């Protein structure tokens, strides 16, 4: 048995023990048994495979939308679970502001199923980093809370050192598309000794316009990464994003 299987087994045993002692309740409806029950999961607005590979916009078949074909992209492809609303919004809030490790494990299990359904050949899993100031304020990086159990589930190494945020940026909230791009330009730096010739899976909680995750991917590509895929829990809905209740993966 490899080290990932041993660590994954221990991690799962720990959380199963916690669930046995303190049975979880669904964050959506309060039903006992799971943090996100099947009814609440199936009620989410989930990602559809017939969408743009860069932004998630609805298309007749998977490809590149008219907006994205005129933009530069550092990521090779984006996948995500569901729209950032309702129960998923609650889950993200608990992950991001309450350090809910149980939710992180639940979401990581769902993310793992998405990756397993692709033909991505991943070498390294990396969370999108926070600045040192913001990490110190919050006490943790919510993307890293997802990346660790995801790496155990996929039996792939996780690395939090090879990509760092080198510039403090203002919050992306309330910024338009152009302002978001400018705000994170040059915000990240990657270590060629860690990422060169590697295919990286970048993990984050929410994809809005893609500015942050593309800036992070650009730093990885500049450092010699072969390919960068993006995986997020949620996608913020907007005028350019159209997803519907037709799951690409039934988890």
Task: Give the CATH number for residue 183.
Answer: 3.40.50.2020
- pLDDT at 80 > cutoff 70: yes
Question: Domain for residue 249, yes or no?
Answer: no
- Provide the percentage of residues in the chain whose pLDDT is more than 90: 59
Helix (H) or strand (E) segment spanning residue 127: strand 124-127
- Number of neighbouring beta carbons within 10 Å of residue 19: 14
Question: Domain for residue 69, yes or no?
Answer: yes
Mean pLDDT throughout 150-173? 84
Question: Domain for residue 240, yes or no?
Answer: no
Residues 163-172: tens digit of each pLDDT = 998 876 656 5
Q: How far apart, in whole angstroms, are the C-alpha atoms of residue 150 and residue 141?
A: 15
CA-to-CA separations, 77 to 120, 149, 227, 232, in angstroms, rounded: 10, 22, 9, 11
Domain residues for the domain of 105 are 3-235
pLDDT of amino acid 138: 87
**Alpha helix ranges (H) inside 139-184:** 142-154, 177-184
Q: How many domains does the chain have?
A: 1
Question: Domain for residue 147, yes or no?
Answer: yes
Question: Domain for residue 124, yes or no?
Answer: yes
pLDDT of amino acid 211: 87
pLDDT of amino acid 156: 95
Mean pLDDT of the chain: 84
Mean pLDDT throughout 200-212? 92
Question: Domain for residue 86, yes or no?
Answer: yes
Question: Domain for residue 247, yes or no?
Answer: no
Residue 211 contacts residue 184 (beta carbons within 8 Å): yes
> The whole model's pTM is what?
0.85
């Amino acid at each position: 048995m490899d080290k990932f299987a041993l660590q994954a087994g221990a991690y799962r045993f720990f959380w199963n023990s916690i669930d046995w002692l303190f049975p979880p309740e669904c964050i959506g409806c309060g039903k006992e048994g799971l943090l996100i029950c099947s009814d609440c999961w199936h009620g989410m607005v989930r990602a559809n495979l017939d969408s743009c590979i860069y932004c998630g916009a609805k298309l007749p078949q998977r490809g590149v939308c008219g907006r994205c074909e005129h933009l530069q992209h550092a990521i090779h492809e984006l996948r995500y679970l569901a729209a950032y609303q309702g129960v998923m919004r609650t889950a993200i809030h608990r992950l991001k502001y309450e350090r809910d490790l149980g939710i992180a494990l639940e979401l990581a299990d769902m993310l793992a199923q998405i990756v397993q359904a692709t033909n991505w050949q991943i070498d390294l899993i990396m969370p999108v980093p926070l600045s040192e100031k913001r990490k110190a304020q919050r006490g943790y990086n919510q993307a890293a809370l997802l990346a660790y159990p995801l790496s155990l589930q996929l039996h792939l190494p996780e690395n939090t050192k090879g990509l760092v945020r080198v510039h403090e940026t203002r919050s992306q909230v309330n910024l338009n598309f152009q302002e978001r791009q400018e705000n994170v330009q040059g915000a990240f730096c990657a270590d060629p000794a860690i990422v060169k010739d590697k295919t990286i899976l970048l993990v984050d909680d929410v994809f809005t316009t893609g500015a942050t995750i593309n800036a992070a991917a650009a730093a990885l590509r500049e450092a010699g990464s072969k390919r960068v895929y993006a995986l997020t829990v949620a996608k913020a809905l907007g005028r350019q994003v159209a997803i519907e209740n037709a799951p690409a993966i039934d988890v």
